[in-house]
Amino acid sequence: MDSALIEQLTAAAESDGVLQLVVGAVVQHNGKVLLLQRPKDDFMGGIWELPSGKVEPGETLDRALIREVQEETGLGVIAADTYLGSFDYQSGSGKKSRQFNFAVDVQSPEPVELQEHDAYTWTALTEETPVTDAVRQVLTTYQGL
């Protein structure tokens, strides 16, 4: 991943008053993307989302992306080269958050080992994806590559 791009994205978020950086991954296999379902009792419970999570203090976006995909799915990221855009939202704790999204390649698409979600699915991009409008836009960007 381009370190200049990472620095630029991080600096822009800081300038915009974003308090929490988040990374999201579009994991693709055989024309389908991996979606995870949030626990019903969690913030935005039950929605389907990309593998994603908070960037820890002192952590770069690319390191956070690799860690979060591993923690949430058990899959090992081997490449994260394409930036797919970002979106802002207010977290459950009220923080202004920005999710930076990247296309990633993984060593193997199976087995998916969930740690923080209730379910997962591989969804074809030709289907209507059960995600928020913000994530749908990321997937549309991905499809256009």
pLDDT in tens, 70-129: 999 999 999 998 999 999 999 888 999 999 999 999 999 999 999 999 999 999 988 887
CA–CA distance, 41 with 10 (Å, rounded to integer): 31
* DSSP calls for 39-88: PTTSTTTT-EE-SEEEPPTT--HHHHHHHHHHHHH-PPEEEEEEEEEEEE
CA–CA distance, 77 with 105 (Å, rounded to integer): 6
Q: Find out whether 85 and 141 touch, Cβ atoms under 8 Å.
A: yes
CATH for 3-143?
A: 3.90.79.10
What's residue 56's pLDDT? 97
> Hey, is 125 helix, strand or coil?
coil
